[in-house]
Chains A and B, each alone.
Chain A
């Protein structure tokens, strides 16, 4: 018990510290972008949130497969926790992306120019459907099984969606070229650190949410025992 507490404490502090450093890097250390100006600074957190979203849903896929193979409830809790954390970050990516688009293309929703934004939104919808599915199934075991299957099918569809959205856009003229991967070294360092910081935050939240899920499970079990009068 005390060992797992240490891991959580460590992650808590690490998250707080790395986000503080990330904020410093984004707002002070990183140079201002020449054409876009300060609004480009949204890029660091925007891409990091999108990355955490993808990663979280990948964890759900892996946890889903592990659940179906072994039937261990803990994997289902991890899968659900990862979806919840992932949705939060994907929503952040969509909102920051929309703000950035407004500044860059003067449109809140650039369907044509920015297929990646569309993709992330579809990702958000996919996993909102995952949560809806869970809400509409009775029985924990069935819920876990169906959710695992949907988590697998949903993630398999992501590369297809990505490719089709890209190709779909290619037939239209590209009005603006993205500033590209040619980041100045200071910008690249800031970006990589933000990725790291957000990943740490993801694991911290996942750990807390999974622990909460386990406690919920235990509480439900205790209630059931009380109700049936067992062990009383």
Chain B
């Protein structure tokens, strides 16, 4: 089996498990909807133009729902010592990292894909724009890259569910800042050329954190 096949085998395992239970996607979806509803009520009385807060609401929803998914993704592997079984498989640990990372990327993207049309209706804004999809995709890669590494750390601590956001959010801040800036810019009709430096910044973040996570993942899962 080539490296790519091993990675895809792990992704496939996660996808099949999810398709059979549909636990994660359904709970993430309900959670994301609730976040949007709560934000709508808490902002609507104060903000005249919902487009002003829409990028922020959208990204808070994605980050919260995504954190839920990241927690779940490795907690599932802890049940019945599945993670140990995974490590016994004859493959490089980095294949496990990329496999889990791609799985997380797929699930978070799936939720985003579901939430975008719903948010478009709720905010009465057209959010399904190619430039916005690209931004969301770039942001989600960075999110999944750091999130997979840190969820592997958090899952081994005593306060799993609390630990992940505490570790993840300060590191994720550059991503959140840049994606909300770009999302806001796109909604305001700023030409994409003027936002290009943010997109390049996101690409740099994605690459560097993929490399750093890939290099350090081995140390997290050993022993």
Contacts and interface: CB of A to CB of B under 8 A. Distances in A.
Interface of A: 68, 122, 125-126, 129, 132-133, 136-138, 141-142, 145-146, 148-150, 152-154, 156-157, 160-161, 163-165, 167-168, 171
Nearest to A145: B219
B174 A157 contact: yes
A126 B167 CA distance: 7
Chain A at the B interface: SS class: helix
Categorize the interface residue count of chain B.
Answer: 20 to 34
A142 B221 CA distance: 10
Contacts of B158: 136-138
Most chain A CB within a 10 A radius of its CB, from B146, B156, B171, B209: B171
A137 B205 CA distance: 28
Contact of B174 (A129, A137, A163): A163
Contacts of B153: 133, 146, 149-150
B213 A153 contact: yes
Contacts of A129: 166-167, 170
Contact of B170 (A126, A141, A148, A152): A126
B50 to A, nearest CB: 21
Given A153-B150, A153-B213, A161-B174, 11 more contacts: A126-B171, A145-B219, A145-B222, A149-B219, A152-B212, A153-B171, A153-B216, A154-B171, A163-B174, A163-B201, A165-B177
A160 B176 CA distance: 11
Nearest to B215: A152
B105 to A, nearest CB: 18
A146 B212 CA distance: 14
Given A126-B171, A129-B170, A164-B201, A156 B208 contact: yes
A132 B163 contact: yes
A164 B173 contact: yes
A91 B174 CA distance: 21
A142 B223 contact: yes
A153 B157 contact: no
A198 B33 CA distance: 50
Contacts of B212: 152-153, 156
A149 B181 CA distance: 30
Contacts of A68: 216, 219
